[in-house]
């Protein structure tokens, strides 16, 4: 049993071993979504990680606390990261670097087959420019190993120029340090629900690089919370993503000092709303974005949260989430990308 005055570190004491650069102090609220829940036949709430107080918010703030904690421990003066042109991780990394006094260097990968002006110049791209990030376009092989290798080459150039860069890699051959941020988030949410004396049946979130999904799952299981955690695929097919989440969750459990043996049944991933691929719209994503906006005044983005919400809807339609069950949807942010997808979002909209 937990006590009312417990903290995340009381539940996960191993987190204290890892340096953390605190980027926020007040846990985001869990808000009800009664009208959207009624539409879906469930009791629905949203965890507002989109309101984390760094440069328009988002889940990556939690991950970056641990990456920057390590960067500062290593006396880095700059940080390097890679991501898609409209990457939220990249934007939040650039903003966090400025907040903590480091230089941001960002590699933007051409992952999405879009070349209109809004996509290439608006949204996160504009914010990266406002934040003064040094931008390196990357049009090479679209796999994590190649992108990370190019990032390391840039880091080498910076070192030869006298800099001390810290590199945030995305590939699975590097430690899942950012996942600790979502292990901590699981403990945070557990305590929020513990104070209410009620618990959700399901947690639903987007599953891309996997550290939000795996970190949350590892944290929940490490504290004995057996909630069903559903990851909605935003980049990879379910089979590939399930293997990735199993590996990452196991690694993060080990980092937390937990002896929990991750089971295949713990890994719930759904790719029914992934087509036609990463960063590309489909009708179910567009509908989910509109339902959230019209039912709740809640904005979700086309790449991550819109697709994750579409996946949640699909799970209810297929009975994977039963009518009447309680669900918390983790809003991972991504709002700047809305402006990069204007034509896609407004297709068919009448005023």
Cα–Cα distances in angstroms (integers) from residue 162 to residues 18, 76, 150, in the given order:
27, 11, 19
Q: In this prediction, what percent of the chain has a pLDDT beyond 90? A: 95
CA distance 83 to 93: 11
- Three-state secondary-structure class, residue 235: coil
For the record, the structure tokens of 348 come out as 């068919």
Classify each residue of 91-118 as buried b or exposed e, where b means 16 or more C-beta atoms within 10 Å of its C-beta: bbbbbbbbbbebbbbbbbbebbebeeee
What's the average model confidence in pLDDT over 5-29?
Answer: 96
- The rounded distance, in Å, linking the Cα atoms of 282 and 309 is 13
Least confident of 137-146, 157-166, 181-190, 220-229: 137-146
Given 87, 122, 207, 284, the catalytic residue: 87
Measured CA distances, 109 to 47, 63, 106, 112, 136 (Å)? 29, 20, 10, 9, 9
In the predicted model, is pLDDT for residue 5 greater than 80? no
pLDDT at residue 72 tops 70: yes
Would you state the structure tokens that stand for residue 239, as one six-digit string?
A: 């089979």
CA dist 315 and 145 (Å) reads 32
Strands 165-168 and 268-270: unpaired
pLDDT digits (tens, 9 = 90+) for 200-245: 999 999 999 999 999 999 999 999 999 999 999 999 999 999 999 9
pLDDT of 351 strictly over 90: no
Across the range 189-195, mean pLDDT stands at 98
Give the pair of three-digit tokens for residue 308: 């994750």
Residue 3: the pLDDT is: 57
What are the structure tokens assigned to 224, written together?
């004995």
Q: Give me the chain's average pLDDT, please.
A: 96
- The per-residue pLDDT for 247 is 98
CA–CA–CA angle 151, 15, 56 (5° rounding): 55
pLDDT of residue 349: 58
d(CA 63, CA 23): 10
User: Does residue 283 register a pLDDT over 80?
Assistant: yes
**How are the residues of the chain apportioned to helix, strand and coil, as percentages rounded to the nearest 5?**
45, 15, 40
Token readout for 289 is 């974005």
| Six-digit token string for 117 | 């002006």
Interatomic CA distance for residues 345 and 246, integer angstroms: 34
The whole-number average pLDDT for the span 149-154 is 97
Instruction: Determine how many CB atoms are found less than 10 A away from the CB of residue 14.
Output: 15
What residue ranges define each of the domains in the chain, with the CATH number in brackets? 6-58+175-346 (3.40.50.1100), 60-168 (3.40.50.1100)
Residues 291 and 299: their CA atoms lie apart, in Å, by 10
> Does 6 score more than 90 pLDDT?
no
326 is catalytic: no
Check pLDDT > 90 for residue 347.
no
Q: Is the pLDDT of residue 301 over 60?
A: yes
Predicted local distance difference test score (pLDDT) of residue 346 = 87
The pLDDT tens digits for 233-261 are 999 999 999 999 999 999 999 999 999 99
59 contacts 51 by C-beta, under 8 angstroms: no
Q: Tell me which residue has tokens 């903290």.
A: 7
Provide, rounded to the nearest whole percent, the portion of the chain with pLDDT above 70: 98
pLDDT band for position 143 (cuts 50, 70, 90): confident
For the cut 50, the answer to whether the pLDDT of residue 1 exceeds it is no
Distances, alpha carbon 282 to alpha carbons 225, 240, 338, in Å: 34, 21, 15
């Amino acid at each position: 049993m937990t006590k009312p005055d417990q903290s995340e570190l009381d539940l996960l004491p191993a987190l204290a071993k890892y340096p953390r650069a605190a980027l926020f102090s007040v846990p985001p609220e869990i808000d009800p979504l009664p009208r959207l829940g009624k539409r879906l036949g469930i009791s629905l709430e949203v965890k507002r990680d989109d309101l984390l107080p760094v440069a328009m918010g988002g889940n990556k703030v939690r991950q970056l606390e641990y990456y920057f904690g390590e960067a500062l421990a290593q006396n880095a003066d700059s940080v390097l990261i890679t991501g898609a042109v409209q990457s939220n991780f990249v934007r939040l990394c650039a903003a966090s670097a400025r907040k903590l006094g480091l230089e941001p260097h960002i590699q933007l990968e051409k992952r999405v087959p879009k070349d209109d002006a809004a996509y290439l110049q608006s949204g996160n791209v504009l914010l990266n420019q406002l934040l003064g990030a040094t931008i390196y376009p990357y049009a090479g092989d679209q796999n994590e190993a190649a992108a990370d290798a190019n990032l390391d080459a840039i880091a080498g150039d910076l070192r030869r120029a006298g800099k001390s860069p810290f590199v945030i890699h995305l590939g699975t051959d590097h430690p899942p340090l950012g996942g600790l941020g979502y292990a901590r988030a699981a403990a945070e949410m557990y305590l929020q629900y513990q104070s209410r004396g009620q618990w959700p049946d399901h947690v639903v979130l987007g599953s891309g690089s996997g550290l939000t999904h795996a970190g949350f799952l590892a944290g929940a299981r490490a504290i004995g919370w057996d909630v069903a955690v559903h990851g909605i695929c935003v980049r990879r097919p379910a089979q590939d993503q399930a293997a990735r989440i199993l590996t990452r969750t196991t690694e993060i459990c080990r980092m937390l000092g937990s002896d929990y043996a991750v089971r295949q049944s713990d890994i719930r991933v759904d790719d029914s709303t992934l087509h036609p691929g990463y960063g590309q719209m489909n009708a179910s994503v567009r509908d989910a974005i509109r339902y959230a906006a019209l039912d709740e005044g809640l904005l979700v983005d086309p790449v991550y949260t819109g697709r994750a919400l579409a996946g949640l809807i699909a799970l209810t339609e297929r009975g994977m989430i039963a009518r009447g069950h309680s669900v918390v949807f983790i809003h991972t942010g991504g709002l700047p990308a809305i402006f990069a997808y204007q034509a896609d979002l407004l297709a068919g909209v009448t005023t």
